[in-house]
Amino acid sequence: MNDDFEFDPKRSTISAGTTVRWRNDSAVGHTVTAYNDEIPSDAAYFASGGFESETAARNDISGGLIASGDTYEHTFELSGTYEYVCIPHESSEMTGTVVVE
- Centre a 10 Å sphere on the Cβ of residue 31 and count the other Cβ atoms it contains: 27
**What mean pLDDT, rounded, does the chain reach?**
94
Cα angle for residues 90, 4, 84 (degrees, 5° grid): 35
What stretches in the chain show pLDDT beneath 50?
2
Give residue 63's pLDDT: 79
The C-alpha atoms of residue 10 and residue 51 are separated, in whole angstroms, by 22
DSSP 9-54: SSEEEE-TTEEEEEE--SSS-B--EE-GGGS-TTSPP-BTT--SSH
Give residue 8's pLDDT: 94
The C-alpha atoms of residue 24 and residue 48 are separated, in whole angstroms, by 12
